[in-house]
Amino acid sequence: MSQLFILVELAAGYALFERIESEEIGIELEDVQKAIVELSRFQSIIRLKSFAPFRSAAHALENAMDVSEGVLNDHLKAFLEMNLPKASKKSKQPRWLHQGPLSFDCIIDDTVRELIRGVRLHADRLLAQLKDRDLDRAQLGLGHAYSRSKVKFNVNRVDNMITQSINLLDQLDKDVNTFSMRVREWYGWHFPELVKIVADNYLYAKLAKYIKNKSDLKEEQLDELEAIAGDPIKAKMILDAARASMGTDISEFDMANIESFADRVISLTEYRKSLYGYLVNKMHAVAPNLSALIGEVVGARLIAHAGSLTNLAKYPASTVQILGAEKALFRALKTRGNTPKYGLIYHSTFIGRAAQKNKGRISRVLANKVSIASRIDCFLDNPTNKFGEMLREQIEERLRFYEEGVTPRKNAEVMAEALKAAGIDMDIDEEDEEDDGAFGG
């Protein structure tokens, strides 16, 4: 019977066990599953051959990261070379041979998985080198260190901030519109003519806060009205309307509440502007190519809907095309109707500029380019917007091709220019292209 060794990575170190039972345990999986429940029976199956503890918490984290990424750590390599015999060239059992720095035959089947499960279950008692609760403390410490290391990346490229910002921006838009309508209705009882003169909600709230009681508005305040309204004609119209207003009188106490509420609307609107500026800056830092291609707001909505920039980069172009239209898609599949042509990318200016017959085609091209831009942003070490600008030019050329028949440039040519502009040295393989890039017409 050939030797079988079980390698188990634990939070405290690497443990190597050897099978000692002479029966063909690989045939009967149920026998192994029953044996691992009881420690005495399990100890009759395997025994500890060697244990290599980690030198420190940092050493444990380093090995855990290498294991998660499929990298053979030097510590593990030396441990295996020291304790494992050389693999035989002829093996009667089905094996999977690792082609790498070490050439050991490795069996991967349900029996081995059950043996590893048994080792993890009884690790505290199988490893005499460890004291009581040592393994639990090591697991807790390594778990925290591993989690922290996974979230330690460039703080300037955290896409979670984009998700929170765009969600807050959408919520603020709804709230500001609701509150502005309330200000208009509330102050409209006193000065109804102002609603027809001023259409902008932010400007209306500022004027309501400044004017207060329309009866007190004088000719001397015309310059200040003009400064707020930004238009001398509109300021004069407000002054004339205040003199001939049909609105009801209002008490000072009620006016104070209206003024306070208008002040809240003004502060929310100003915060919304600053939040938009913050979102634009974050998008330029995290996804510059996606921003240059489709715009900051639409790009942020795509990232938020996908969950992260990495998730968006993993999506195929066909999924990006209908991202945000899932309900319409499933309804169409259920009723066997026409599936949607676009989702969130509909808000892009390209879709609106395309003719009705070309909206579906341009949405396919745009989804293809968005998928490329998101992958570049996700995996490029040094952020640049050169690729997004070139991809945007390709969409413009495609629009002209549909409308005027002007032949667009090839992808290889455009990407070569983008690489040159970004200062990246890379060879481009020229291939035949479809009419719509990755999709058919």
Please, which pLDDT band fits residue 367 given cuts at 50, 70 and 90?
very high
Is residue 5 helix, strand or coil? strand
Q: Which residue has the higher pLDDT, 163 or 424?
A: 163
Helix (H) or strand (E) holding 47: strand 46-53
Instruction: Read off the pLDDT of residues 307-348 as tens digits, 9 standing for 90 and up.
Output: 889 899 999 999 999 898 888 888 888 888 888 888 899 888
Strands laid side by side in the 13-19 sheet: 5-9, 13-19, 46-53
What is the predicted pLDDT for the residue at 439?
A: 36
Question: pTM for the whole thing?
Answer: 0.65
Rounded to the nearest angstrom, the gap between the alpha carbon of residue 381 and the centroid of all alpha carbons in its chain is: 17
Is the Cβ–Cβ distance between 311 and 375 less than 8 Å?
A: no
What is the predicted pLDDT for the residue at 298?
A: 94
Is residue 278 helix, strand or coil? helix
Please, which pLDDT band fits residue 2 given cuts at 50, 70 and 90?
low
CA–CA gap between residue 18 and residue 80 (Å, rounded): 13
What is the predicted pLDDT for the residue at 178?
A: 94
The per-residue DSSP string of 80-108 comes to HHHHSPPPPS--SS--EE--SSS--EE--
For residue 291, pLDDT over 90 is answered with yes
For residue 48, pLDDT over 90 is answered with no
398 token code pair: 């495609």
For residue 438, pLDDT over 50 is answered with no
Is the Cβ–Cβ distance between 75 and 59 less than 8 Å?
A: yes
Residue 70 DSSP label: T
What is the predicted pLDDT for the residue at 205?
A: 93
* Mean local confidence (pLDDT), 93-106: 50
What is the predicted pLDDT for the residue at 26?
A: 46
Is the Cβ–Cβ distance between 320 and 302 less than 8 Å?
A: yes
Scan for tokens 């207060």, then name that residue.
212
Lowest average pLDDT, out of 276-280, 403-407, 433-437, goes to 433-437
What is the predicted pLDDT for the residue at 230?
A: 86
Instruction: Read off the pLDDT of residues 116-171 as tens digits, 9 standing for 90 and up.
Output: 888 888 888 888 777 778 888 888 998 888 887 766 555 556 788 999 999 999 99
For residue 435, pLDDT over 50 is answered with no
What is the predicted pLDDT for the residue at 417?
A: 84
Buried b (16+ CB within 10 A) or exposed e, 288-324: bbbbbbbbbbbbbbbbbbbebbeebbebebeebbbbb
Instruction: Read off the pLDDT of residues 194-224 as tens digits, 9 standing for 90 and up.
Output: 999 999 999 999 999 999 888 888 888 888 8
For residue 99, pLDDT over 60 is answered with no
Instruction: Read off the pLDDT of residues 216-227 as tens digits, 9 standing for 90 and up.
Output: 888 888 888 888
430 token code pair: 């020229």
Average pLDDT, the chain: 84
What is the predicted pLDDT for the residue at 152?
A: 57
Long-range contacts of 306-311 (CB under 8 A, 24+ apart): 307/163, 308/159, 308/160, 308/163, 309/159, 309/162, 309/374, 309/377, 309/378, 310/159, 310/378
What is the predicted pLDDT for the residue at 225?
A: 87
The per-residue DSSP string of 205-249 comes to HHHHHHH-SGGG--GGGHHHHHHHHS-HHHHHHHHHHHHT--PPP
